[in-house]
Structures are given as structure tokens and as C-alpha cells.
């Protein structure tokens, strides 16, 4: 089953033949392998949905997923390295099985879940989202996951729960930059306002491209918030806390003028040192113009209401 | 001997194009990674920086080694730096932006790190077009002044490098240290020369030199005639 994102993609994003080929390959991969917990019928549905021609008006084209090879080899995983390519190799040393996730704070039912138990209680679906990095590149990834709201509801947040704080795994044995205390404060912490966390577009992902999540992409469980810059979508989540006050998030603490708490994708609000007006789509060919970045990464029709009273320049 | 030095110059010049060949091979074999456009752009920028640094290294090397034959290399390396910088700019405009001038204009306007890149490129461009002998002749004394702008270009380049990074400032540190050494050398030479000049006229003992006419044969204009300059009075001036 596919989650519609109510997004019309302009005709300027016509598929490159290469991307088409890659897409076929991805479909083949999807047919070949199943994620634990994803029923084969669900995947079969995904496939058929995926091959449907776009129904929307004439200016619409489907979101073209980026080749999995690119997504697998282009990750910012600063716990391991500052190099996007080397992270693929280095992240393989992270033990992800068994994995447990703690849910605590302002909830009625705090719990520590074994990951398998958590996933068995959720129905996994495919979410094809555009992923926009603060470094002005983007890709389209078919995530496998479930709405964060479903998990939070099970913990029963108290009315005092105003924010959600996520903490990544702290494993200095396998993560060189945690061991060396390099650059950022570890472990990595991210946060959302409670209404952002409960939004149906906000998911916890445990796989992509029809397979379980590669370690460099945030296995075994990561957040995906498609209307925010990529660094908000924290990887390898160990703890989810519901809290009263806004959490101090890692990048915001490191450079508060550069990376705000909200970090909503917004072409009108440049980073202090570079423009956010356009983005390079990974997989696009040489001499292809960049893509004009959209407010809320194109998910404005669903999330703009969350920020209706806010000055987005101030709350960047 | 003459032919040997020409050959050496030629071989080194051709070697400067090896990075371009390596990059071309990586393009042809699709070996530029997941973001090939950025990889291409950055690798050209890196080589421009490296050749600019090498250009700046020639004068210190010449001073330290007392070898006088390196000026030709300085010009050549500077032009190679300009060559890679030009490719870097062209890739930004065409390969990355597909010559979409509207997007390019906004991108430059909103990106302070690019302003410094633009400044550096304008300087390096100006230096490249004033590099030939006839330009050097026509600029005369100003040539040296104009070409001192290379220091400003190098500083702009290193900030350009730092500002495009998200946070890991360790990466360009190596080049920053090298630049500090290269510019530091020039400052050291300047300070040394200044001190040398001071030694000629010690600042603690200022002297006043006046001429007193030997006789009264001063012309009506008041200027002492040659013969009247014979007597000089040198007196020490107390600073306090």
C-alpha cells in the first residue's frame, strides 16, 4: 500500500532513462526480498500501486525514486566519519541485533521494547518521500516504516508532553567519532514538537527499497520527517522521551545560528552561508538544472497548518 | 643546458594537467561517487587551490634556496591555478546549474561563501590576463602592486573553502596552516627589512641635519648655493 502525499510533481522532473532502468531494478529487488514483518500481500500491493500511471492533472509526474546504490553510498553519519562514502563501510560494524528502544518521560506507559516486538505490533507500509539535506541536495527514497504517532499512542502521552526527544545509540566502541569526542556532542539528539511528532507524515523507518534498513542509512530504526532538513531524521534510535520543554538538539547546540530547532525546508530562508533556494537531485545528469526547492519540501498542503501563526524566518 | 631547463619546464607544465586527466577518467568510468556533480566541482576547486598555494610557494623557495630560475614556474603555476579555477566556475554554471541563470543568480546572491569564491576568481582572472610580458611592461611599476592581490585571493579562497562546510572545520586546516606559513614568510621578510631600515636610522636617537651657510653668499631666493653646503650640523634630538 502506498501513502499518498497529495503532491503533484511538475513535468520538469521527467525521468531520465537511466533512472527508469534503476527503477526497474528496484522493483525486481522488491519482488525478490521481503522485510521481516512486511506481509507479502502488502508488498504486492505496493508493486501494483507503483506501476500505476500518474492519475493527477497534466502537469503531474510521479516521484521518481533515486537509485538505491546512490542512497546506500551517500550518507551523513558523523558518528562514523565526516565522509559520506566511507560511512557505508564503517557503519557495518554497528551491532543492530538485538536492539531495544526505550520510551519514557511524560507518558502513562513507559516501556523498553525489543525491536521485533515493536515492529510486530505495527503494520509496515512504504512511504516514498523526497529527502532534502541542509547541504542543498535531495533524493527520493521509498522508506518502509510506520507512523510515529502509532507508537506514541501506545505509550499514552500525558498532557504535559509537549515535545519528543530522540536519542541515537551511544556506542563509542564502534563509532570512531563518539570515541574521539569529535566535533558534535554525542550521542546525537533530535526533537520534534508533539504535533509534528503525531503528524501522519512523520514515520519511523526500518527499511527502504523493500529491504531492511542498511546500517549506514540508520538501521535498525530511524526517524523520517519529510518536510524538514535531513539531519532532523535521526538514525539508530535508542531512546524516545516525551518531554515538557524543547529538547536541546545536537546541531542546534553546535551552531544555533545555522541550524534551528524546526529546520523546516524553506527556500526563502537561506543558511547563513549558503542558499537553500535550489537543490541538486542526486542521480540527475550533468548539465541538468537544479531543482527549485519547495516550502516544506513540497509537503506544505499537509503540514503548513502546523506553523500557521509562526514567523518562519524567526523559527527557522 | 638551455634545452634541459626548457625540457624540465615543459615536463612540469604537462604534469600539471595530470589531475585533469585523472578527473576525466573518473567521469568516463562513472567513478565520481553518489554525487558526481559535486565531486567534479570540488575536485576542480581543490586543484585550483593547490596550484595557487604552489604559486605562492615559489618566492619563499627561491629566497631560501637562492636559486634564481623559478620565476617562469611561478607564472606557469599561477596560470594553471587560473585554468582549474575557470573549470571550477564553468562546472558550477553549466554542469551543476545547467546555465539556469535565474537559479544561479539567487544561489550566488544568497551564498556568502560563493561571494568569496567570486572575489578570488575576479582577482585570479585579472592576474592571468596581466600575466603576459607586454601587459607587465605596460603596467610598469603597478604590475607588482596588482599582482600582490594574489594574497587577498588566497585568503578569500581559504574562507570560501571553510564556509561551504557544514561544520567539520578540520578538513581545510591543512591548507590554512600552509597558507599561514606562506604568508607568514612574507610578513617575516617585510618585518626583517623594516628592522634593517631602522638599524640605519635608530629610532631612539633621532638626528637633525641642517646646513648652515658658510658665508653670506645666499642667493636672493634663499636657497644655499653649492658652496654654502659645506657646513653640516648634526645634532641629536632628545625624544622625551
pLDDT for residue A127: 96
Residues A187, A259: Cα–Cα separation, whole Å: 17
What stretch of H or E contains B160? helix B149-163
Q: What ranges do the domains of chain B cover?
A: 2-199, 206-237
Q: Are strands A137-147 and A278-281 parallel, antiparallel or unpaired?
A: parallel
Query: pTM of the prediction?
Result: 0.81
Q: Which three cell numbers stand for residue A176?
A: 570512531
Percent of chain B with pLDDT over 70: 80
Contact A249, A231 (CB under 8 A): no
pLDDT for residue B209: 62
Radius of gyration of chain A (CA): 19
Q: Which residues of B touch A258 (CB under 8 A)?
A: 167
What domains lie within chain A, and their CATH numbers? 11-307 (3.90.420.10)
CB < 8 Å from A in window 124-153 of B:
none
Digit-coded pLDDT (tens) for B167-199: 677 778 999 999 999 999 999 999 998 887 777
Residues A306, A196: Cα–Cα separation, whole Å: 7
Mean pLDDT computed over B64-93: 92
Q: Cβ–Cβ of A275/B37 closer than 8 Å?
A: no
Contact B120, B157 (CB under 8 A): yes
CA distances, A311 to each of A192, A226, B110 (Å) = 17, 20, 20
CA distance B112 to chain A (A): 5
- SS in 3 state form for B6-31? HHHHHHHHHHCCHHHHHHHHHHHCCC
Q: Among partner residues A78, A275, A287, which is closest to B110 by beta-carbon distance?
A: A275
CA distance A255 to chain B (A): 8
Q: Which three cell numbers stand for residue A202?
A: 512523520
Nearest CA in chain B to A252: B167
pLDDT in single tens digits along all 316 residues of chain A: 555 555 544 444 544 444 544 444 444 444 444 343 444 444 433 433 323 333 333 333 578 999 999 999 999 999 999 999 999 999 999 999 999 999 999 999 999 999 999 999 999 999 999 999 999 999 999 999 999 999 999 999 999 999 999 999 999 999 999 999 999 999 999 999 999 999 999 999 999 999 999 999 999 999 999 999 999 999 999 999 999 999 999 999 999 999 999 999 999 999 999 999 999 999 999 999 999 999 999 999 999 999 999 999 999 9
CA distance A287 to chain B (A): 4
Residues A277, A148: Cα–Cα separation, whole Å: 29
Digit-coded pLDDT (tens) for B12-40: 999 999 999 999 999 999 999 999 999 99
Q: Cβ–Cβ of A290/B167 closer than 8 Å?
A: no
- SS in 3 state form for A240-284? EEEECCCCCCHHHHHCCCCCCCCCECCCCCCCCCCCCCEEEECCC
Whether residue B211 has pLDDT greater than 90: no
Q: Cβ–Cβ of B109/A287 closer than 8 Å?
A: no
Average pLDDT, chain B: 86
Q: What count of residues does chain B have?
A: 240
Apex A85 CA angle, A79 and A90, nearest 5: 45
B60 to chain A, any CB pair closer than 8 A? The answer is no
Across A64-183, where does the E strand assignment appear?
100-105, 111-114, 125-132, 137-147, 163-168
Q: Among partner residues B98, B103, B170, which is closest to A287 by beta-carbon distance?
A: B98
Q: Among partner residues A71, A272, A289, which is closest to B98 by beta-carbon distance?
A: A289
Q: Residue B185, Cβ neighbours under 10 Å: how many?
A: 17
Digit-coded pLDDT (tens) for B61-72: 988 887 777 888
Amino acid at each position: 500500500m502506498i501513502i499518498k502525499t497529495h503532491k503533484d510533481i511538475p513535468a520538469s522532473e521527467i525521468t531520465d532513462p537511466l533512472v527508469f532502468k534503476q527503477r526497474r531494478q528496484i522493483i525486481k529487488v522488491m519482488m525478490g526480498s521481503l522485510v521481516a514483518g512486511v506481509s507479502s500481500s502488502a508488498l504486492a500491493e505496493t508493486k501494483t500501486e507503483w506501476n500505476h500511471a500518474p492519475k493527477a492533472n497534466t502537469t503531474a509526474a510521479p516521484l521518481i525514486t533515486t537509485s538505491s546504490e546512490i542512497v546506500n553510498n551517500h550518507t551523513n553519519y558523523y558518528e562514523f566519519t565526516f565522509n559520506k562514502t566511507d560511512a557505508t563501510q564503517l557503519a557495518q560494524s554497528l551491532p543492530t541485533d538485538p536492539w531495544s528502544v526505550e520510551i519514557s518521560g511524560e507518558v502513562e506507559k513507559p516501556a523498553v521494547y525489543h525491536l521485533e516486538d515493536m515492529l510486530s505490533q505495527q503494520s509496515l507500509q512504504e512511504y516514498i518521500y523526497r529527502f532534502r539535506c541542509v547541504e542543498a541536495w535531495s533524493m527520493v527514497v521509498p522508506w518502509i516504516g510506520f507512523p510515529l504517532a502509532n507508537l506514541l499512542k501506545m505509550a499514552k502521552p500525558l498532557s504535559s508532553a509537549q515535545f519528543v526527544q530522540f536519542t541515537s545509540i551511544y556506542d563509542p566502541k564502534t563509532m570512531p567519532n563518539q570515541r574521539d569526542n569529535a566535533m558534535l556532542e554525542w550521542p546525537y539528539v533530535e526533537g520534534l514538537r508533539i504535533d509534528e511528532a503525531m503528524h501522519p507524515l512523520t514515520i519511523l523507518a526500518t527499511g527502504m527499497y523493500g529491504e531492511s534498513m542498511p546500517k549506514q542509512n540508520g538501521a535498525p530504526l530511524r526517524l523520517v520527517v519529510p518536510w524538514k532538513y535531513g539531519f532532523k531524521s535521526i538514525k539508530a534510535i535508542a531512546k524516545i522521551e516525551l518531554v515538557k520543554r524543547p529538547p536541546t538538539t545536537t546541531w542546534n547546540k553546535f551552531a544555533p545560528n545555522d541550524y534551528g530547532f524546526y529546520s523546516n525546508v524553506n527556500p526563502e530562508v537561506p543558511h547563513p552561508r549558503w542558499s537553500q533556494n535550489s537543490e541538486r537531485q542526486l542521480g540527475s545528469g550533468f548539465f541538468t538544472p537544479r531543482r527549485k526547492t519547495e516550502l516544506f519540501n513540497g509537503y506544505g498542503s499537509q503540514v503548513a497548518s502546523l506553523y500557521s501563526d509562526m514567523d518562519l524566518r524567526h523559527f527557522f | 643546458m638551455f634545452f634541459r631547463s626548457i625540457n624540465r619546464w615543459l615536463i612540469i607544465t604537462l604534469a600539471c594537467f595530470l589531475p585533469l586527466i585523472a578527473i576525466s577518467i573518473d567521469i568516463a568510468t562513472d567513478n565520481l561517487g553518489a554525487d558526481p556533480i559535486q565531486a567534479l566541482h570540488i575536485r576542480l576547486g581543490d586543484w585550483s587551490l593547490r596550484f595557487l598555494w604552489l604559486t605562492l610557494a615559489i618566492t619563499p623557495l627561491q629566497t631560501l634556496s637562492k636559486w634564481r630560475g623559478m620565476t617562469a614556474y611561478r607564472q606557469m603555476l599561477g596560470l594553471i591555478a587560473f585554468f582549474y579555477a575557470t573549470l571550477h566556475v564553468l562546472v558550477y554554471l553549466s554542469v551543476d546549474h545547467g546555465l539556469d541563470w535565474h537559479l544561479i543568480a539567487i544561489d550566488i546572491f544568497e551564498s556568502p561563501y560563493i561571494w568569496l569564491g567570486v572575489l578570488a576568481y575576479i582577482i585570479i582572472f585579472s592576474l592571468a590576463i596581466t600575466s603576459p610580458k607586454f601587459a607587465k611592461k605596460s603596467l610598469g611599476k603597478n604590475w607588482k602592486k596588482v599582482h600582490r592581490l594574489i594574497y587577498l585571493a588566497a585568503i578569500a579562497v581559504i574562507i570560501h573553502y571553510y564556509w561551504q562546510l557544514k561544520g567539520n572545520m578540520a578538513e581545510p586546516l591543512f591548507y590554512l596552516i600552509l597558507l599561514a606559513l606562506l604568508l607568514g614568510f612574507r610578513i617575516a621578510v617585510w618585518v626583517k627589512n623594516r628592522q634593517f631600515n631602522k638599524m640605519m636610522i635608530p629610532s631612539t636617537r633621532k638626528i637633525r641635519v641642517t646646513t648652515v651657510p658658510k658665508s653670506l653668499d645666499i642667493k636672493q631666493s634663499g636657497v644655499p648655493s653649492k658652496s654654502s653646503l659645506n657646513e653640516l650640523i648634526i645634532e641629536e634630538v632628545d625624544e622625551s
